[in-house]
C-alpha cells in the first residue's frame, strides 16, 4: 500500500474515533465521569503512549529555546482545548457539539489570515461563510430539545 492510501486511512480512522467520542463521552457524562475527568484520562493516556513509544525510538535533544513553546502548545492545544470541548459537550448534545466542531477549519482560515497574512480569496471566503451559516443554522434552528442538554433561553 502506498503512503497516500495510508494517510487517507489514518485520517479516516482519526475522524471516526473523534466522531464516536462525542456520543461515547456524552453517554458517560455526568453519571459516570465528569468532563474534567475525561481530560485527565486523555492527558495521562497520551503521556503513557508517548512514554512507551519513546522507549523504542531514538530521542533527539530539544533546544532550550523551544521548551517554552512546547509547554505553551501542550497547555493550549491539549489541556485548555480539551477542557473547553468536554465542558461544552456536557452542556450540549452530541449533534450540536459535532456541528460546532465543524467550524474549526473556518477558525483556522480566519486565524491564518490574521496571524500569518494568508491570502483571502473569494472562493475561500465564500466557503467559510457558507460553512459558518450552515453550522449556525443547524445549531440555532433546531426545534427539538433533549433531557441531557442544558438550555440557556
Q: For 105-120, what is the HEC assignment? A: HHHHHHHHHHHCCCCC
Which cell numbers in the block locate residue 89?
A: 459537550
Which cell numbers in the block locate residue 141?
A: 434552528
List the single range of 3-12, 21-30, 107-116, 134-143 with lowest mean pLDDT. 134-143
Q: What is the pLDDT of residue 53?
A: 93
Residue 86 CA, distance from chain mean position: 10
Range 122-142 average pLDDT: 82
| Predicted TM-score (pTM) of this structure | 0.64
The dihedral through the CA atoms of 108, 109, 111, 116 has a sign that is positive
**Does residue 65 register a pLDDT over 50?**
yes
**Does residue 58 register a pLDDT over 90?**
no
pLDDT above 70 covers what percent of the chain? 92
Range 86-90 average pLDDT: 85
Amino acid at each position: 500500500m502506498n503512503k497516500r492510501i495510508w494517510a487517507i486511512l489514518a485520517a479516516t480512522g482519526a475522524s471516526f474515533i473523534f466522531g464516536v467520542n462525542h456520543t461515547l463521552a456524552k453517554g458517560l457524562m455526568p453519571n459516570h465521569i465528569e468532563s474534567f475527568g475525561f481530560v485527565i484520562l486523555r492527558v495521562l493516556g497520551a503521556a503513557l503512549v508517548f512514554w512507551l513509544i519513546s522507549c523504542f525510538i531514538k530521542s533527539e535533544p530539544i533546544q532550550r529555546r523551544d521548551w517554552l513553546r512546547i509547554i505553551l502548545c501542550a497547555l493550549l492545544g491539549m489541556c485548555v482545548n480539551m477542557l473547553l470541548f468536554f465542558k461544552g459537550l456536557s452542556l450540549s448534545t452530541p449533534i450540536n457539539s459535532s456541528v460546532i466542531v465543524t467550524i474549526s477549519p473556518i477558525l483556522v482560515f480566519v486565524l491564518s489570515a490574521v496571524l500569518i497574512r494568508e491570502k483571502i480569496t473569494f472562493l475561500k471566503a465564500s466557503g467559510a461563510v457558507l460553512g459558518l451559516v450552515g453550522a449556525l443554522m443547524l445549531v440555532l434552528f433546531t426545534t427539538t430539545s433533549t433531557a441531557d442538554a442544558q438550555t440557556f433561553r
